[in-house]
Amino acid sequence: MKIVTKAFLRYLLRRRSLSVLQLLGIACGVAAVIGMGLSAQSALSSFSKAVEFLRGSSTHLIERPAGPIDEMVLAELIRDPSVDFFAPVVDRRVRLADSEAVRVLGIDPFLDRVVRPEISSAYFAERGRSARDEPFSFFTDERSVMVDSNLAAQLKLQPGSRLETSQGVFNVTGTFPNPSGEPLILMDILNAQKIFDLKGSVDRIDLIINDEAAFRSRWEKGFRIESKRQRQETLTALLYAFKLNLQALSLLALFVGTFLIYNTAMFTVVSRRRDAGVLRSLGARRYEVVAAFLTEIFFFGILGGALGAVFGHILSRFLTEIVGSTISTLYFFLKPSPQPWSLLTLAAGIALGCIASLLGCIAPLIELILTEPVKAIRGRVAYKGGRRKAGKIALTGTGILCAAAAFLLFSFYHVYVGYAGTFIFLLGVSLFTGLTVMFFTPLLKWLFSKIGGIQGKLAVANIRKNMGRTAVAIAAFMVALSMSIGLGSMIESFRHSLIWWMNSQLKGELYVSTRGDADVPEDFYEELKRVPGIGGIDTYRNVQVTYRGTPVYITAIDASILQRFTQFGWVSGGNENWEPVKQGSVIISESFSRRFNVKKGDAVAIEGIEETVRFPVTAIFYDYTTEHGLIMMDRSTYIRHFMDRTINSLGVFVDPKYPEREKVIAEVKRRAQGRNLPIATRSELHDTILSVFDNTFAVTRSMRVLAIIVAFFGIAGALMTLFVERRREFGIYRALGFSVRQIAGMTLFEGIGMGLVSFLMSTGVGTALAMILIKVINLRSFNWTIFYHFTLDPYLLAGITAIAASIGASIYPIWKVYRTYPQIQIREE
């Protein structure tokens, strides 16, 4: 059967345009999956590398449950027999002139020699080089820093350069290699303490200890001790929901990609039906015919998969940057480096291309080999059985939808169950495509015959009678458009929920130091309180603590001020909820409540500086600041239990009765600028939050675009296949008096018709998908409620995309019509 294989493979050259479209289709499907997967992998591995690099060879760290740690502790640590080495650290961030946030590590190079030999050796090497000039400038010059070589190259810095930051100008004394990929600035710990106003305190102490149990028994009270593994787990837990989100997007890409590859593989089989019949009539066995098909399909799978792996690798470089920027905005600074090209990527692409192709051709191949040769030899057949067949398929779809509903109902077990339910739902609704095409046929026939006359009418009939080909392409496109609508509606609803939340909670006229890179001195807070016309000032302190072994946040605020000036979104009750907070109770975010199943009236036990404190929960409020859970308490309660007076930012409320509101605002601004503290008006803060929100969904938006591109190739492939299969039919149309223009018009109407049906279906499916994403996936992943908000934009975008993509997909077949049919051609191929 070598000759048959040869015959099949020659089709690829003979129908070059179709082959290229099919190859691109598979490649795009694979690229979407590989690109998303690689960028997620880059982010997570960079994260591990960064943690590993910064922690060096330390085995543990010790810190206060909240806030900085007094450096007097160091004297006791020296004497502790379990401690072999220790290294105090100031770990802060500054903003560069381009507003990029960079980690600043204040270290003692001598104490760090064992704990972080890579960093300290860089320091000593640099000191050796600059020994003649200024051997101790790193210590003596308060503004002296070392910059990692990647950042130095990026900013064109060298020893002697000046680096402008939100904490003033730094003098670069040297550079050091940094394999973690995270931009890093080093300075002497004493200088860091001065710059960040941490007199006598450090953020944490990294340790190498020899007896953990003994050490813990001595330092349990008032401190948090974390092993390297625990630290990694804590940080990984912070990324959990984000990781889930990336995985979901990868799966989404896989779903659309597989759909498209399925489409391509199916076309290969159905368009070669007649050849299979001829072969069978000549005595070819079923398995021989199958083998010939599989050769072609695997050829596509391998080549398309390999191409997809290359595309995916390129795409991952772009996506990695977006993913890194999102993680940096939401969690902790991370600048992931794209994964290097690897043969494994190629293998994954090929495997994906082949598996999806195989999946795609199974059903039509089985159907083909079970068909009597005489039926196969007839080649392309009109979609028979019509409504009955479509009805049967839709009935199967109904069964699958029931399964999807069951999965979604049981999603409380794990969000993966929810994801499975979502994909099963999409699969189920896809099976309604045939029925939908039949349902819309009269309407489309009427519409297209009004617009395009006979060719419009015939185009609709062609879509209907070739449903074996068109339905899968319509379904693939419909799924892509539904995802666009679903994700778009979800994002829009989330945005509106966020705006509602901001308008209820962030009602201050001015906010001082909200960017997280400069704390507010307490005396400045006292000073502002005395400014005439100030109605109240809310102090804001946010710290990460551990609750039931996982990271959560405590926020200390001024309950009286918030009670007076804001209207929180309470799950139940109103501003009277603040009263118990003033007395020492806490309120918790909805995400905290759902995550730990803590209800109003329960108590949460948190490790304080002296003892474990049980805080009664007085109310639950809607919150979108963190999915990990938030415990909010009055500042006085916080100071009492955590001995931390740090203020991260201030919310300033002007007295509503004060006549000169603008004057007060100007005065606060003037005083903040005098202290070099960043200040933002309410609308500026809201805009910043919304811009962070929009950046966060950059990956999701990229996936929407990818899904559309993938689906575009689906439609283009379907149209091209129909064109190739119907060359003779087109000749007959010409013989009947059709002009080339009319045939081209018919092809265009077919494309638009398919796009239109896809869009009409996607409006319903997309809305349902949005509800699933909001009510099931988001709630389960992030534990917060998003309120559904209808906006027309995602639907308009999908509609425009559908029409544009179908017109775009028709262009090549139309060009082929003009090129191929200047004369009448009825001859068999």
Partner 1 sequence: MQPIIRVADLWKYYGDDEQGEPALRGTNLEVAAGDIIALFGKSGSGKTTLLNIIAGLDRPTRGRIEIEGQDLEALGEQGRTELRRTRLGFVFQFFNLLPTLTAFENVFLSLELAGLPDPAAAGAALTSVGLAGKEGRYPHELSGGEQQRVAIARALVKRPSIILADEPTGNLDTHTGTHILDLLVDQCRLAQTTLIMVSHAMITCRYAQRILQMEDGIIMEDRPCEAPGP
Amino acid at 317: R
Rank residues 151 and 290 by Cβ distance to partner 1 and give the closer one. 290
Closest contact distance (angstroms) between CB of 775 and partner 1 is: 44
Rank residues 373 and 766 by Cβ distance to partner 1 and give the closer one. 373
Task: Give the CA diameter of the chain.
Answer: 101
Stretch that binds partner 1, among 1-9, 29-37, 104-112, 610-618 (CB under 8 A): 1-9
Closest contact distance (angstroms) between CB of 727 and partner 1 is: 11
Closest contact distance (angstroms) between CB of 743 and partner 1 is: 21
Rank residues 78 and 282 by Cβ distance to partner 1 and give the closer one. 282
Q: CA–CA separation, 801 vs 398, rounded Å?
A: 28
Any residues with CB less than 8 A from the CB of 326 and at least 6 apart, and which? 242, 695, 696, 698, 699
Query: Could you count the other beta carbons within 10 Å of the beta carbon of residue 288?
Result: 15
Closest contact distance (angstroms) between CB of 819 and partner 1 is: 17
Stretch that binds partner 1, among 9-17, 154-162, 490-498, 699-707 (CB under 8 A): 9-17
Rank residues 16 and 218 by Cβ distance to partner 1 and give the closer one. 16
Length of the chain: 829
Residue 282 as a binder of partner 1 (CB under 8 A): the answer is yes
CB 461 within 8 A of CB 445: yes
Residue 388 as a binder of partner 1 (CB under 8 A): the answer is no
Query: Exactly one of 112, 126, 182, 275 binds partner 1 (CB under 8 A); which one?
Result: 275
Rank residues 8 and 501 by Cβ distance to partner 1 and give the closer one. 8
Stretch that binds partner 1, among 6-14, 25-33, 140-148, 661-669 (CB under 8 A): 6-14
Residue 499 as a binder of partner 1 (CB under 8 A): the answer is no
Residue 365 as a binder of partner 1 (CB under 8 A): the answer is no
Any residues with CB less than 8 A from the CB of 271 and at least 6 apart, and which? 380, 721, 724, 725
- For residue 346, the 8-state DSSP code is H
Residue 811 as a binder of partner 1 (CB under 8 A): the answer is no
Residue 523 as a binder of partner 1 (CB under 8 A): the answer is no
Residue 343 as a binder of partner 1 (CB under 8 A): the answer is no
Residue 531 as a binder of partner 1 (CB under 8 A): the answer is no
Rank residues 218 and 285 by Cβ distance to partner 1 and give the closer one. 285
Residue 169 as a binder of partner 1 (CB under 8 A): the answer is no
Kindly state the number of chain residues that form the binding site for partner 1, as judged by CB under 8 A.
Answer: 30
Residue 375 as a binder of partner 1 (CB under 8 A): the answer is yes
Contact set for partner 1, span 536-595 (CB under 8 A): none
Rank residues 359 and 366 by Cβ distance to partner 1 and give the closer one. 366
Residue 281 as a binder of partner 1 (CB under 8 A): the answer is yes
Residue 280 as a binder of partner 1 (CB under 8 A): the answer is yes
If you write DSSP's letter for every residue of 577-630 in order, what string do you get?
Answer: GHHHHHTT-EEEEHHHHHHHT--TT-EEEEE-SSSEEEEEEEEEE---S-TT-E
Strands, DSSP E only, in 98-236? 101-107, 144-148, 162-165, 168-176, 184-188, 201-202, 204-209, 224-227
Closest contact distance (angstroms) between CB of 8 and partner 1 is: 7
Query: Exactly one of 221, 285, 450, 670 binds partner 1 (CB under 8 A); which one?
Result: 285
Q: CA–CA separation, 109 vs 127, rounded Å?
A: 11
Query: Exactly one of 194, 274, 317, 682 binds partner 1 (CB under 8 A); which one?
Result: 274
Residue 780 as a binder of partner 1 (CB under 8 A): the answer is no
Q: CA–CA separation, 329 vs 744, rounded Å?
A: 51
Return the CA Rg of the chain. 32
Chain Cα centroid distance, residue 272: 41
Rank residues 283 and 656 by Cβ distance to partner 1 and give the closer one. 283
- Whether the CA torsion 129, 134, 137, 140 is positive or negative: it is positive
CB 707 within 8 A of CB 484: yes
Strands, DSSP E only, in 17-167? 60-63, 69-70, 83-95, 101-107, 144-148, 162-165
Residues that bind partner 1 (CB under 8 A): 1-4, 6-8, 10-11, 14, 274-275, 277-286, 372-375, 377, 827-829
